[in-house]
């Protein structure tokens, strides 16, 4: 029986990784920060390991006796400046800790969950050969994820067997904090407008399956873009509106207006100390026109693309079951 350690096991992607690994017959060690964060994992047959990627000692204890694969899915996606020091500790220093304990014999292979943001804000079609402009980005999240990849590559140069996965926008059942927030805003008729950008939306279940495939047959040192159906945010919002029978905008907001609004909220948050609903960093992402070439992941990892309408139906159904959006 193969054994895996999943960091970020209590998160959206991490939770799906844990479930799919168990379904495939793996023994799973799940890293969690506190008992309160365990949620549905407490009902699964996992070896629960309390710890944190920023605490190297806890990683060493979780990897005692070694594992076949570490799935490093822990990350901070924060976009508000007060969270940036912790974001760096998690995304860069935490990744360095994972790499070091793997090199010390803790794991035979590392599957590192990076992000499409390492390629920076560009309207060009992205593939794995694209330059990683995120290293020089003004957006802290993009920069820390790119630096995390640099840490992994330094480990590979020292003999680490590692594969890097770069998901795009992850959507699906189990989400309560990411794109699910957009669905809830549409349901509550509180959405102020639609951003002008576009994205590639990957089913969280497909992303988890692709990461497991990367552990089994991904090539060491390679990146794999994990994307899905592309759509404008206006189109996405209108599809959600039709599912929920809610009114939605007929046109997108101008990018300049959204950037100005985010700057105003950012300035106000410095006075109030409260995190704003939008920041200049988060607005920059939703004004981007993201386009990705995912042929490599489809060919080598068997990545499957869930049609966006089907993915939204599944997501809304789950949110209704959790009573987070209104019933039909």
Instruction: State the pLDDT at residue 35.
Output: 79
- pLDDT, position 45: 87
Report the 10 Å Cβ neighbour count for 323.
8
> What integer pLDDT is reported at residue 77 of this predicted model?
95
**Phi and psi (nearest 5°) for 168?**
-95, -140
- Give pLDDT, residue 43: 79
138 token code pair: 């003004």
Q: Where are the domains of the chain?
A: 3-174+200-230+292-306
Fold for domain 3-174+200-230+292-306?
Rossmann fold (3.40.50)
pLDDT score recorded for residue 303: 98
Q: What is the pTM of this model?
A: 0.95
As a whole number of angstroms, the distance between CA 56 and CA 146 comes to: 21
The angle, 0 to 180 degrees and rounded to 10, between the axes of the packed helices 12-23 and 204-217 is: 60
Q: How far apart are CA 33 and CA 305, in angstroms?
A: 32
Helix (H) or strand (E) segment spanning residue 308: helix 308-321
What does the pLDDT read at residue 38? 76
Give the per-residue pLDDT at 123.
85
Q: Are 77 and 17 in contact (CB under 8 A)?
A: no
Q: Provide the residue-wise pLDDT of the chain in tens; the chain has 328 residues.
A: 899 999 999 999 999 999 999 999 999 999 998 877 777 777 788 989 999 999 999 999 999 988 999 999 999 999 999 999 999 999 999 999 999 999 998 899 999 999 999 999 988 999 999 999 999 999 999 999 999 999 999 999 999 999 999 999 999 999 998 899 999 999 999 998 999 999 999 999 999 999 999 999 999 999 999 999 999 999 999 999 999 999 999 999 999 999 999 999 999 998 999 999 899 999 999 999 999 999 999 999 999 999 999 999 999 999 999 999 998 7
Q: What are the strands, taking DSSP E only, across the chain?
A: 3-7, 27-32, 47-50, 67-72, 107-113, 125-126, 162-167, 169-171, 198-203, 223-226, 229-232, 291-292
Overall residue count recorded for the chain in this entry: 328
């Amino acid at each position: 029986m193969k054994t895996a350690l999943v960091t970020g096991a209590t998160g959206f992607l991490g939770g799906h990784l844990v479930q799919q690994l168990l379904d495939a017959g793996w023994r799973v060690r799940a890293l969690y920060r506190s008992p309160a964060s365990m949620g549905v994992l407490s009902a699964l047959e996992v070896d629960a390991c309390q710890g944190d990627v920023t605490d190297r000692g806890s990683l060493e204890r979780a990897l005692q006796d070694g594992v076949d694969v570490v799935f490093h899915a822990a990350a901070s996606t924060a976009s508000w400046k007060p969270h940036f020091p912790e974001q760096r500790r998690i995304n860069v220093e935490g990744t360095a800790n994972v790499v070091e304990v793997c090199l010390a014999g803790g794991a035979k292979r590392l599957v590192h969950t990076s992000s499409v943001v390492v390629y920076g804000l560009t309207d060009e079609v992205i593939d794995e050969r694209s330059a990683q402009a995120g290293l020089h980005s003004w957006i802290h999240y993009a920069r820390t994820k790119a630096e995390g990849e640099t840490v992994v590559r330094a480990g590979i140069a020292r003999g680490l067997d590692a594969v890097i996965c770069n998901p795009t926008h992850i959507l699906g059942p189990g989400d309560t904090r990411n794109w699910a927030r957009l669905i809830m805003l549409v349901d509550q008729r509180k959405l102020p407008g639609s951003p002008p950008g576009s994205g590639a939306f990957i089913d969280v279940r497909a992303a988890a399956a692709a990461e497991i495939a990367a552990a089994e047959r991904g090539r060491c040192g390679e990146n794999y873009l994990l994307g899905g159906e592309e759509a404008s945010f206006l189109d996405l919002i209108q599809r959600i509106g039709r599912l929920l029978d809610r009114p939605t905008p007929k046109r997108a907001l101008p990018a300049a207006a959204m950037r100005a609004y985010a700057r105003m909220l950012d300035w106000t948050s410095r006075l109030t100390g409260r995190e704003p609903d939008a920041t200049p960093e988060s607005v920059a992402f939703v004004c981007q026109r993201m386009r990705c070439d995912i042929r490599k992941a489809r060919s080598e990892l068997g990545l499957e693309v869930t049609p966006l309408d089907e993915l939204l139906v599944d997501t809304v159904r789950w949110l209704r079951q959790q009573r987070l959006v209104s019933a039909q």
